[in-house]
Homo-oligomer: A and B are copies of this chain.
C-alpha cells in the first residue's frame, strides 16, 4: 500500500512468511526491481501494481522521458511471464504521455492507485462470478476445492483471484474445505496459502504436490481452482509449474478445472500459450530448501548431493481444452477465443 506521507510503498515480505510477518518499504526503483525479482512481492496482479508504483516513484525522483523509458524497461525485465507487469507499465505510460513531465509524478501515482483499486474490485467481482460454481457443487458435506500455489490475498490485495470465490462462499455460509498443494519448489501453497486460509478461518489441508492424483482417485476433490500468471487469447492458461499436471488429472477424473483471473492477466496479443515466455529460475530453488532459522532469518539448506543439477521452470501452460471455464471480473466464460472476447467486451461496460 502506498503511504503518501512517507512517500513509500509498504509490502508484506512474502519470502519471510509463514515464519514472520515482516513489512518492507519500497522507496526507489531498485527497491521495486529487487522486490519483484526476489519474490518478496509475487502473484500476477500484485506484480503489476508494484511495477506501476515503482514507475511512479521513479518519475517522482526524476521526471524525464529518459527515466520513463529506462525505469519501465528495467521493471519490465524483472520477470518474464506475468503479463500484468507490462500491462500495468503501459497503463502508467499512457496516463502520462499527453502531459508535460512536471505533471508525470502525480499522474503516474494516480494511475498506480487506480490500477490497485481496479484489481481489488476485479477480485471481488471474480468472487461473485465464481460463487455460483462452488454453490452448485455443494452437497451434504463441504465443497472440496483443490488449489495450487497462492492466488490469494497475498498475490493480489484483499480478495485474491482463485481464493475470492472461496472467501465469499465462506462468508455466505457455503461450507468449503481447501486442499492446498504445497507447490514446490518455492512452497507458496504450504507457506502462503495455508497461512492465509488459517488467518481467514477457512478449513484446509495441505498435501504434497504428489498426492493430488491420489486425492482425485479417492473422489475427494470437487473442483480445481487456480489463478493464472498469463492467459492467452485462446484460453490457454499459464500458471505456476504443476498446474498442468493437475489439469490433466482433473479431466481424467471428470473434475471441473477453473482458472480465476482478472482480465488484466489476459494477453490479447498472444494467440496461444505456446508463445508465453516461461521463466526458468535458479537451480538452487530445487536443490535446496529455504526456510527460517531460529532467529527468523531466511537460510538455505542443500537437499541433494554436491554437484547436482536441476531444471526449474516456474510456470507451465494448461491448454484451453483442459479448462472447464475461466472466471473473471466480467463473469464466467468458456476458455475459447470467443468466450474471452465476450468478457472483454463486457468489461468495457464497467470501466
Contacts and interface: CB of A to CB of B under 8 A. Distances in A.
Interface of A: 18-19, 179, 182-185, 187, 190-191, 194-195, 198, 204-215, 217, 240-242, 244-245, 248-249, 252, 278, 286-287, 289, 291-292, 301-305, 307-313, 316-317
B206 A184 contact: no
A183 B210 contact: yes
A206 B289 CA distance: 14
Nearest to A198: B305
A180 to B, nearest CB: 8
Contact of A184 (B182, B248, B278): B182
A207 to B, nearest CB: 5
Contact of A245 (B212, B241, B278, B291): B212
Centre residue among A18, A179, A214 by max chain B CB count within 10 A: A214
B190 A287 contact: yes
29 contacts: A18-B302, A18-B304, A184-B208, A185-B208, A190-B286, A191-B303, A191-B304, A194-B308, A195-B305, A198-B307, A206-B286, A206-B308, A207-B310, A208-B209, A208-B241, A208-B286, A211-B242, A211-B311, A211-B313, A213-B248, A214-B244, A214-B278, A214-B313, A214-B317, A217-B244, A245-B245, A289-B301, A291-B301, A292-B301
Given A187-B303, A198-B307, A303-B187, A209 B242 contact: yes
Contacts of A18: 302-305
Contacts of A316: 210-211, 213-214, 217
A194 B308 CA distance: 7
A131 B195 CA distance: 48
B308 A198 contact: yes
B215 A311 contact: yes
Contacts of A312: 207-208, 211
Contacts of A301: 289, 291-292, 301
A245 B213 contact: yes
A349 to B, nearest CB: 37
A323 B183 CA distance: 27
Contact of A205 (B195, B249, B309): B309
A109 to B, nearest CB: 34
Centre residue among A206, A241, A249, A252 by max chain B CB count within 10 A: A206
Centre residue among A217, A303, A317 by max chain B CB count within 10 A: A303
A178 B189 CA distance: 28
Given A213-B248, A311-B207, A311-B215, A194 B241 contact: no
Contacts of A205: 309-311
Contacts of A302: 18-19, 291
B313 A291 contact: no
